[in-house]
Chains A and B, each alone.
Chain A
Amino acid sequence: MSSFKDPASWSLAFKLARRELRGGFTGFRLMMACLALGVAAIAGIGSFSATIGESLQNDARALLGGDVELRLTHQKATVDQRAYLDKEGPVSAIATMRAMAATIGETPQRRLVELKAVDNAYPLYGEAKLDGQMTLDQALAQETRDGETIYGAVAQPDLFTLLKIQPGALVQVGEAKFVLRAQLLREPDAAGDVFKLGPSFITSEAGLTASKLEQPGSLIRYEYRVALPAGIDLAAWSKRITDAFPDAAWRIRTLDEGAPGIGQQLDRLNLFFTLIGLTALLVGGIGVANAVKSYLDGKTATIATFKCLGAPAGLIFRVYLLQIMVMALGGIAIGLLFGAVLPAAGLNAVRDGLGLDVHFGLHAQPLILAAAYGILTALTFALWPLARAREVPAAHLFRDLVSPDRVWPRAELIAATAVAALSLAALAFFTASQKNFAAWFILGAIVTLLVFRGLASVITRASRGLGHRLTGASTRLPLLNFALANLHRPGSPAGIILLSFGIGLTVFVTLMQIEGNLNAQISERLPAEAPSYFFVDIQPTQVEEFERIVSTAPGVTGHQRMPSLRARIVAIKGVEVDENNVAPEARWAVRSDRGLTYAARPPEGSKIVGGQWWAADYKGPPIISFDARVAQGMGIGVGDTLTFDILGRRITATIANLREINYQTLGLNFAIIFAPGVLEGAPQTHLSTVSAAPGADDAVREAVLSRFPNVTAINVKDALATAAEAFGKIADAARALASLALIAGVLVLAGAIAAGRRARIYDAVVLKVLGATRKNLLGAYIVEYAAIGLAASVIAGALGTLAGWLIVTQIMRAEWVFLPGTLIGTALVCTLAVVAFGFVGTWRALGQKASPILRAR
């Protein structure tokens, strides 16, 4: 390889490569398509994500509502706190909660809304866009009609559609009347609320007060947004205010975090989709290896000629490396072009879905990343066949070699292939936001690759062994022998089809199993057990009458009710939460306020796994029952203490028992349950679930809501549908991407079949000369491709199901349901697809006339 150091040699290699490439791109079309597909997927996902990320960045102030936001649950900021904020800069205070909006009349229509009460300063940044000419201030102004105060409000168009009303209509929320003056087309700070149960409804602070929905214990959040002077150090500012009010229960979010909810989701989805895109690229990589090998096989004579003319092996390697990389770069460039432009198509959905003002733009970073993936994939898969071609003996030109070419590449080129493969894995790992997930993906990809490689070898051996046995016996199926021989003959496409199709299919089956499982959870298993309605914010004074209404309503099959309070865990075993090392899966419990309750008896759907439940008449120091999984994440158990901040009061309680909770029943349950005797006097509301027979559920809801306008009813079916819809969109996108991996598999399959077409035609001609009919040949092809397709489907089915099971049970922590229908259906379709594509690739062989081909030999 000494000539590698000679730059002149590179320029000569380039000249020779350029001359050879004039022959056209024919041998490379499939390789370019494979690379273009994978690169387009990765570039598209990256560009899409970067576009949204940029919009989040640009609109960060508007999305957050200020430079900083302080969020409190249940309680407003104290006078001192508010005074402090006012000194820092302009402040906008808003309150948000869920409420019912009802039309006014004999038979009122009611809908759940996400209510937001805003002050005059709202929004500090950005702009609320309304239909018509009105400003937000004008729309929220109050008026008096017949001596009654009517409050102004705006709502998202959905509410108008659901309630069948027009702007100007009156609605009742709580005890107040509102005139919906305009449709809210864009809410500047809405994108952070990813999971909304109803349309937004914005009114004034006075409107909220008049609704009388602000009751002690109501599930209401107060948010204070502050506009700070430009250039201020937000971290230092946060520290200062925390020092000034160490006991304040607020959660501070700064501009740097933007809309963290949506940002994190974006990161996760970006990673998830990028990895699926990478699978398509890896499958394409197998196509690259195959295309390079076929191309170089066709160049054996040229390579040998070069060698006879005195070209060193290093020069030969460079000549073909340059050609392959030029073609690869062509494919990558096409992929980048599509990847950069296609996301524009999805932006409208984001604009509508997230209320985010996104604009299409070109983003260099995701394109560079996708190009790097493409180049490394091309190198990883092309270097090996290139390195072998380098060793082609010049003696090829004089006669066919007596011994077959089983040449191993040189050690340095084996090392170069390994470096390219490792760089590919490193790129996937180091650019991933979740290293764990990426590491599992890489491991999964390697295992899948090895399994299919091993399977190819097993099939080759098995078909050879079976073929020998059939030859030994006087078989009546000579063409079965032919089919088996096709599976193991040199240059058989079986291995490549197995690898490419198998990997694509494995990803597809994995996604189908995950999706099928989650769908089963959301739309099949849950509703069977789920209640019809959740009623929230029932005041203690309303409990008795609520119970009476619900127990006497016709069609009610059961109901549960529990008190609900909000509290924050501030210390674990006496040590402040910030100083504890809480495992990621338990962090949600300490991140902000959590709901808790108190009960004499354990709720349904929980199993005591440690300690003892208390006596129904327990009287003593505070003790609690705690979620076993969260306790594990915090590293605590029975006998340890947790300290809570309940509306500004600190209470330390000892864990008396641990429960394993099945939240999937959607029954009432809480991670934290106090024993009776501590919380009864604290401000609280009640939550209730009601199960009713189909058809009777709306009557129960109406009976409760018409009596208690402050109570909010959440239709469980609607909420599930919202979740299912959001999940469905992600699943659609994932399936589309996984299909790309399958399409790449089909391209590789087509390439592999095309590469062997000439040999196949010759075989078919010889067999026909010997008396085989077209039907015989067709049968043999079907047996051959069905064997490959079935083997790929069965193993992909097993691996995909295993991966799906791991993800569902270990990562999502959900229950696993085996879905044989999905599996068998996918396997059958794919086997048929392999047979169909294989047949399309070989049908020409059936119709070939023998004489021209025999003469040509």
Chain B
Amino acid sequence: MTSSASPQPIIRLEGVELTLPSAAGMVNILRGIDLAVQPGESVGVVGPSGSGKSTMVMIMAGLERATKGRVTVGGADYAAMNEDELALFRRNNIGIVFQSFHLVPAMTALENVAIPLELAGERDAFERAAAELQNVGLGHRLTHYPSQMSGGEQQRVALARAFATQPKLILADEPTGNLDGANGRAVVDLLFGAQARLGTTLVLITHDAALAEHCHRVLRMEDGKIAGESAGTAQYQAAQ
């Protein structure tokens, strides 16, 4: 990845389209997205269900390939990379937070957080994973399995896992969607806290317009396009 000091945007989508086959014929999911996100910037993405928010994030993560257009992340052109190269790129540069947490059920909290570090060949993977869990307030839950934790705790483990490799880019897809208000706030506290502390770029998909407002910029998606853009407050007041 290019240096964060680079004037170049960390994410650049140019005329990105995605069309997928379905039983009823081809479905246009993204219809020409143009977007540039600067390093360290936080971008909130809002819009109704089916507007293409998650798909755009998948494209940014290299989990889905654009049918048309160009995707450049950290200076790397995804079109030139094969699946394994994309996996390695994600490992080194991107952290993802899901609505449904997606922890590996057979592994403890500590092991879940250690996975990306182990994949990166870090010798102190477990020490660092433990530190990340401390940061999200789960230092006492290291050996617990996902099934032994609440939804809020699981999402905090997922956050710790996403930040473990100190990625340049965090993609969060409705991170509070499955949580109640208090747990949701706790997770958002941690997310924005870590983003601010590490200077990470954040793309946050949410249905909560108020939450999106805390980002530098808010994009509104409709029918596979960016229908509008507004400036956010770029200020997040941690819940007490």
Where the two chains meet, the residues of A that have a C-beta atom closer than 8 Å to any C-beta of B are 2-3, 8, 12, 15-16, 19-23, 301-302, 304-315, 393-395, 397-399, 402-403
Contact = CB atoms under 8 A, between A and B. Distances in A.
B55 A398 contact: yes
Contacts of A307: 63, 87
A410 to B, nearest CB: 11
Contacts of B87: 307, 310-313
B138 to A, nearest CB: 18
| Most central of A307, A309, A395, A399 by chain B CB within 10 Å | A309
B115 interface: yes
A15 B126 CA distance: 13
A15 B103 CA distance: 17
Contact of A15 (B98, B118, B161): B118
A309 B115 CA distance: 8
| Most central of B102, B120, B161, B173 by chain A CB within 10 Å | B102
Given A20-B106, A313-B84, A395-B58, 19 more contacts: A15-B118, A23-B106, A305-B103, A305-B104, A308-B63, A308-B96, A308-B98, A309-B90, A309-B91, A310-B92, A311-B115, A314-B84, A394-B63, A395-B63, A395-B64, A398-B54, A398-B57, A398-B63, A403-B20
B19 to A, nearest CB: 10
Interface of B: 20-22, 27, 54-55, 57-58, 61, 63-64, 83-84, 87-92, 94, 96, 98, 100, 102-107, 111, 115-116, 118-121, 161, 173
Nearest to B54: A398
Contact of A12 (B61, B107, B118, B161): B118
A393 B84 CA distance: 12
Contacts of B89: 310
| Most central of A15, A23, A310, A393 by chain B CB within 10 Å | A310
A349 B161 CA distance: 65
B54 A399 contact: yes
Contacts of A312: 83-84, 87-88
Nearest to A22: B106
Nearest to B26: A402
B64 A310 contact: no
Contacts of A305: 102-104
A593 B121 CA distance: 78
B102 A301 contact: yes
B90 A308 contact: yes
Contact of A397 (B22, B91, B102, B111): B102
Contacts of B58: 395, 398
Contacts of A308: 61, 63, 90, 96, 98, 102
A722 to B, nearest CB: 61
A408 to B, nearest CB: 15
Contacts of B21: 402-403
Contacts of A314: 84
A14 B73 CA distance: 32
Nearest to B98: A397
Contacts of A403: 20-22
Contact of B84 (A3, A21, A395): A3
A304 B111 CA distance: 17
Contact of A8 (B88, B94, B106, B121): B121
A399 B29 CA distance: 13
Contacts of B20: 402-403
A310 B88 CA distance: 5
B91 A19 contact: no
Contact of A310 (B27, B105, B107, B116): B116
A649 B106 CA distance: 86
Nearest to A304: B102
15 contacts: A12-B118, A12-B119, A15-B118, A16-B118, A19-B106, A19-B107, A22-B106, A308-B98, A308-B102, A311-B115, A313-B87, A398-B173, A402-B27, A403-B21, A403-B22
Contacts, number: 92
A209 B87 CA distance: 93
Contacts of B120: 310
Given A398-B173, A402-B27, A309 B54 contact: no
Nearest to B111: A19
B92 to A, nearest CB: 7
A643 to B, nearest CB: 77
Nearest to B165: A310
A64 to B, nearest CB: 62
A540 B59 CA distance: 104
A302 B119 contact: no
B91 A310 contact: yes
A16 B116 CA distance: 12
| Most central of A313, A314, A397 by chain B CB within 10 Å | A397
Given A20-B104, A402-B27, A309 B119 contact: yes
B14 to A, nearest CB: 21
A398 B105 CA distance: 18
B102 A402 contact: no
A735 to B, nearest CB: 43
A402 B107 CA distance: 30
Contacts of B94: 310
A447 B46 CA distance: 58
Given A15-B118, A305-B102, A308-B96, A20 B107 contact: yes
Nearest to A403: B21
A306 B121 contact: no
Contacts of A315: 119
A393 B90 CA distance: 14
A839 B89 CA distance: 50
A310 B90 contact: yes
Contacts of A301: 102
A839 B3 CA distance: 64
Contacts of B90: 308-310
Given A19-B107, A309-B116, A402 B92 contact: no
Given A2-B84, A393-B63, A398-B173, A309 B161 contact: yes
A322 B53 CA distance: 37
| Most central of B54, B83, B121 by chain A CB within 10 Å | B83
A301 B20 CA distance: 21
B52 to A, nearest CB: 11
A314 B88 CA distance: 12
Nearest to B59: A395
A26 to B, nearest CB: 12
B106 to A, nearest CB: 4
Nearest to B87: A312
A394 B57 CA distance: 12
Given A395-B58, A398-B173, A306 B22 contact: no
Contacts of B119: 12, 309-311, 315
Nearest to B57: A398
A19 to B, nearest CB: 5
Nearest to A305: B102
A314 B82 CA distance: 13
Contacts of A8: 121
Contacts of A304: 102
A312 B63 CA distance: 12
Nearest to A307: B87
Contacts of A23: 105-106
Nearest to A401: B20
Nearest to B20: A402
A319 B80 CA distance: 27
B110 to A, nearest CB: 11
Contacts of A2: 84
Contact of A306 (B54, B63, B115, B173): B115
Contacts of A398: 54-55, 57-58, 63, 98, 173
List the 3 shortest-distance A-B pairs measured between CB atoms, nearest first: A310-B91, A23-B106, A312-B84
Contacts of A399: 54
A619 B73 CA distance: 108
| Most central of A8, A304, A394 by chain B CB within 10 Å | A394
Nearest to A2: B84
Nearest to B101: A305
Contacts of B118: 12, 15-16
A73 to B, nearest CB: 74
